[in-house]
Structure 1
Amino acid sequence: MTETVRALQLLGDRKLELTAIPAPPPPAAGEVQIATKAVALNHLDLWGFRGMAFAKRKMPQVVGVEASGEITAVGAGVSGFKAGDPVVMYGALTCGTCKACREGRDNLCENVGGIMGFHVDGFARDRLNMPARLVMPVPKGVSLRDASCAPIAFSTVQHMLFDNAKLEPGETILVQAGGSGIGTVAIKMAKAIGCTVITTVGDDEKAAKAKALGADHVINYRTERFATITRKLTNKKGVDVVFEHVGGEGFNESLLVLKRGGRLVTCGSTAGPSITFNLMQLFQQQYKIFGSFGASMKNIRESLDKMAGGMLPVIDTEIGLADLERGIARLESRQVFGKIVVTF
């Protein structure tokens, strides 16, 4: 009888099913076999669940773009890993040989084979094989639940704030949607280096939680105009950096709160992907706008080091594999504060 493992597969638009699929073969040369222990949910999962890019995807497809696990076997030629090691996995099948990959800019790979759980089978299965070069050890003292938030949530923020926006100690930053998975991380990372943090949230309960995380000023964007409040808080000078991942109508107001020469970094468009803005404002105010997607493996290692130092993710909900659809529904409802993690 063929051995099987559990897998959560997307069958079509908003159709998820927990099924049995053939277990992976022993790892080939250069590979490791991993038992998945935790999958963290992201808006990429939500986009996939809604049916984005179906034309380019083979169905059914195993979901899950961010995960941690434990090594169960190593293939020939693999050093540095052994059975039982806790690890996290890079969420894209990079080539490892192009100029960007050689320079450590993994998220700009010129020959990427796809994003796990979005273009190719993802991590929401009991076991899988991965190239060892795309696997990183989890430091001692960091739980696999927390570590599952490093490959996308923590590392995306690390890349946005420090590689792109080059946030410096003592600066003032506006973090949009501070109750989201990456918003909570951005608050923590900015406060850790002594920044003044202004953040927006959608209700008073989230406002209290954002304050507890360390945010200096919290604005309920449903009842207040965040641009007006932010300008007042900065004596009309504006903020040094805007951490933006919402898009839509709020994007222009995010530009309005930047000081001259300020930096806006964005990685999302949950409120809408299309905007119109004033080019004269852009060049006269000398704004710097950075588009940011994903992160490098270096960013993931930096994130794991921060976790080992005590900076842990905010966990909104922990659920089992069979309840992943419920977790996606919660993510879609925007009631989340922090991350939703699926444990195996």
Structure 2
Amino acid sequence: MKTEMRAIEITQYGKPEVLQICSRPVPVSGKGELLIKVAAAGVNRPDVLQRLGFYPVPPGASDLPGLEVAGEVVGGDVQGSGFALGDRVCALVQGGGYAEYCMAPAGQCLKAPEGLSMIEAASLPETYFTVWSNVFQRAHLSPGESFLVQGGTSGIGVAAIQIARALGHRVFATAGSDEKCRATEKLGAERGINYKTENFVEVVKELTAGKGVDVILDMVAGSYVPKEINCLADDGRLAIIALLGGNSAELDLGQVLRRRLTVTGSTLRPRSVAFKEKIAAELQERVWPLLTTRQIVPVIHQTFPLEQAVQAHAMMEEGLHIGKIMLTLD
């Protein structure tokens, strides 16, 4: 086993160019942790925020970016974990994914769905854990209810559309171009709404006979929040997971009271292993079979070798991608 590995570190806060290849010791796994030889890692918006200095590393987590990986179990506390050396797994991690080896709590690992490549498997954990915990656990999207996701062609968006549609919900999505709107519809959205040329509240109200949607997943916040309140059906739930539009909003609390609305939010990274383990178990039961049968298909926009993390982050910031941006390792 090697003692040193290639990794990408954030040398200082700033533009993508602050990401540099480096040599780091191979992490040492502790009780309940597995060591994974990384084949691929996902690039996510929180990685960009961490690089800019806006997303602090939780105590005890690796300072290296990267929140999701897939690869082979090569060490760690395997006994009693449900995994064996050589298993192909994907994992949600608190950091350290941009590296040849990564440590992950066994409870945050899932066996790679049959038929998926390592790149496809690595595209799943961060987005699928986030969507499941917010849309289905916090916002309780239930049978017969409708759903709107903002940013439908982001990694979160393509996962949310497909999961909700595969489970039988009416799905609507916003996106920033007509091309992206059509892409959301191919993924299962009933209607892609161009937020630059259309009023998503009016479109959704028209398509739902004035009722509105039951659940909204929002990565924008800011000025979107009052519009989303108007877009919700009675007893509707708004789940906020990012603040790309700002962290302040003006609410009509009268509507919240009269129509029994819920506004909630969460961040996944600092939550406990036990919390994430419950999400993993539900994904294994409810969603992994849909991936195996290709009712849900990972959407990979482009892959870059680890050494080109700068280019991957630049693409993420441009916002022109549809689906996931991935890093690959030899």
* TM-score band w.r.t. shorter chain: 0.7 to 0.9
What is aligned with 1:17?
20
* Alpha-carbon separation, structure 1, partners of 2:214 and 2:109: 35
* Alpha-carbon separation, structure 2, partners of 1:81 and 1:233: 47
Could you state the TM-score of these two structures normalised by the residue count of structure 1?
Answer: 0.83
What is aligned with 2:234?
260
1:134 deviates by 4.1
Root-mean-square deviation (CA, aligned residues, Å) is 2.5
* Alpha-carbon separation, structure 1, partners of 2:156 and 2:126: 9
1:73-122 superposed Cα distances (whole Å, 9 cap, x missing partner)? 3447455333211112232xxxxxxxxxxxxxxxxxxxxxxxx23xxxx1
1:161 deviates by 2.0
Where does 1:42-57 land on structure 2 (aligned, <5 Å)? 42-52=44-54
**Contact 2:181 / 2:191 at 8 angstroms: preserved in 1?**
no
Distance 1:55 1:266, change over 3 A: closer
Structure 1 residue aligned with 2:290, among 300, 306, 309?
Answer: 306
1:225 and 2:199 equivalent?
yes
Unaligned runs of 5+ in 1: 92-115
1:230 deviates by 1.7
Unaligned runs of 5+ in 2: 269-274
**Contact 2:34 / 2:104 at 8 angstroms: preserved in 1?**
yes
1:56 deviates by 8.0
Distance 1:54 1:245, change over 3 A: closer
SS in 2 for 1:243: strand
Distance 1:235 1:17, change over 3 A: same
Structure 2 residue aligned with 1:237, among 211, 219, 240?
Answer: 211
What is aligned with 2:177?
203
Where does 1:66-215 land on structure 2 (aligned, <5 Å)? 66-75=68-77, 77=79, 80-91=82-93, 116-117=94-95, 122-215=96-189
SS in 1 for 2:11: strand
**Contact 1:174 / 1:197 at 8 angstroms: preserved in 2?**
yes
SS in 2 for 1:147: helix
Distance 1:215 1:84, change over 3 A: same
**AA paired with 2:53?**
G
1:287 and 2:261 equivalent?
yes
Q: Percentage identity across aligned positions?
A: 31
1:22-43 superposed Cα distances (whole Å, 9 cap, x missing partner)? 3345x56654321011111111
**Contact 2:40 / 2:119 at 8 angstroms: preserved in 1?**
yes
SS in 1 for 2:229: helix
Distance 1:192 1:131, change over 3 A: closer
**Contact 1:248 / 1:274 at 8 angstroms: preserved in 2?**
yes
SS in 2 for 1:45: helix
SS in 2 for 1:173: strand
* Alpha-carbon separation, structure 2, partners of 1:186 and 1:165: 13
Length, aligned pairs only = 314
1:127 deviates by 1.6
